[in-house]
Amino acid sequence: MTILITGGAGFIGANFVLDWLAQSSEAVINLDKLTYAGNLETLASLQGDARHIFVQGDIGDSALVDGLLARHRPRAVLNFAAESHVDRSIHSPEDFIQTNIVGTFRLLEAVRAYWNELEGEAKAAFRFLHVSTDEVYGSLGAADPAFTEDHRYEPNSPYSASKAASDHLVRAYHHTYGLPVLTTNCSNNYGPCHFPEKLIPLMIVNALASKALPVYGDGMQVRDWLYVKDHCSAIRRVLEAGRLGEVYNVGGWNEKPNIEIVNTVCALLDELRPKVDARSYSTQISYVKDRPGHDRRYAIDAGKIERELAWRPAETFESGIRKTVQWYLANPEWVAHVQSGAYRDWVQTQYASV
């Protein structure tokens, strides 16, 4: 048995591949374009492991995807591939439209053709799982209830709008063609191997480099944080037992304002890697101009996945953020290669045959 995952060299996809292969003998075909966000160094421990087949390519390349499906006959396709950074989507939305919308559409078409040809048990068991975000629901007021799966779609950034469009396509392929789809909408993830353009890894990396810690606006925007391994376990659970055509919100009931996150990171660094002058890393905090259209609050009601699939996160925010800071402290090479751009040479130096 085999699964095909897309975007498996990115933050969540790579964590998913590592967790999957730590728990299962089932092979993974990993299709990733290796944009700036794709980092095969994260998967270095899988070198020589025949269960991990990496293919560099675009989910929008129909011929490539058709060929992979025909050759490897996966029992499931999990779509992690996306352009994922809100700030980049504000500066240059085009890639977000291409990958998140057109790419997902082409992937769905390829998967539909493949699934149509399956028969019997293989057809009944096949799944297409689409990994999405809580950002499609828009922004909450301070007193609003958390997002349920029935919340209106009100995306506010080019990123969230493109993810919303992809969610709608996935839904339509189930409704119209009967494609056996599952969708997860997860809150903000954090954890090991997170590209340091997102809040938590950026703060850790900048703090250690004695750089400013840029907090947008008043720092009181609220995000709901989930440790990445808990997101991975939720995806495995939805794949295993999710009801066809259903959407599952995934979150850790962990709402926190950004400034609290930054102060927590600083306090952990003060404890684990005190500065030579004994001052707190929080002295590096710098309030900067706000992000245009900045969503004020996200919060996930994870009641459905808890009730129906008995999924629960294993980490509290306190345990997860400590593990995360410890991981960055223990992996300065990974960080240095990301910062220097050397991680992009990894394919040539380590995967010459792919």
Which residues lie near ligand TYD (CB under 6 A)? 86, 188, 198-199, 202, 214-216, 221, 223, 258, 291
Minimum distance of ligand NAD from residue 301's CB (angstroms): 15
Whether residue 132 contacts residue 186, with contact meaning beta carbons closer than 8 Å, is answered with yes
Is 7 an interacting residue with respect to ligand NAD (CB under 6 A)?
yes
Binds ligand NAD by CB under 6 A, chosen from 30, 42, 89, 99: 99
Question: Assign residue 248 a region: left if phi > 0, alpha if psi is -120 to 50, beta otherwise?
Answer: beta
Q: Give every CB contact of residue 211 below 8 A, 6+ residues apart in sequence.
A: 284
Is 55 an interacting residue with respect to ligand NAD (CB under 6 A)?
no
38 makes contact, choosing from ligand TYD, ligand NAD, none, with CB < 5 to 8 Å by partner type, with ligand NAD
Minimum distance of ligand NAD from residue 271's CB (angstroms): 25
Q: What's the burial of 277, exposed, middle or buried (CB within 10 Å: 0-12/13-18/19+)?
A: exposed
| Residue 256, amino acid | K
What is the spatial distance between Cα 21 and Cα 163, in angstroms, rounded to a whole number?
Answer: 27
Identify the active-site residue in 114, 159, 227, 343: 159
DSSP-derived pairing of the beta strands 285-288 and 127-133: unpaired
Is 159 catalytic? The answer is yes
Is 117 catalytic? The answer is no
Identify the active-site residue in 32, 135, 224, 230: 135
How many residues sit in the footprint of ligand NAD (CB under 6 A)? 32
Q: What is the DSSP string of 37-87?
A: T--GGGGGGGTT-TTEEEEE--TT-HHHHHHHHHHH--SEEEE------HH
Minimum distance of ligand NAD from residue 349's CB (angstroms): 18
Minimum distance of ligand NAD from residue 124's CB (angstroms): 27
Instruction: Give 77 or 261: the residue with its C-beta nearer to ligand TYD.
Output: 261
Catalytic residue numbers, as ranges: 134-135, 159
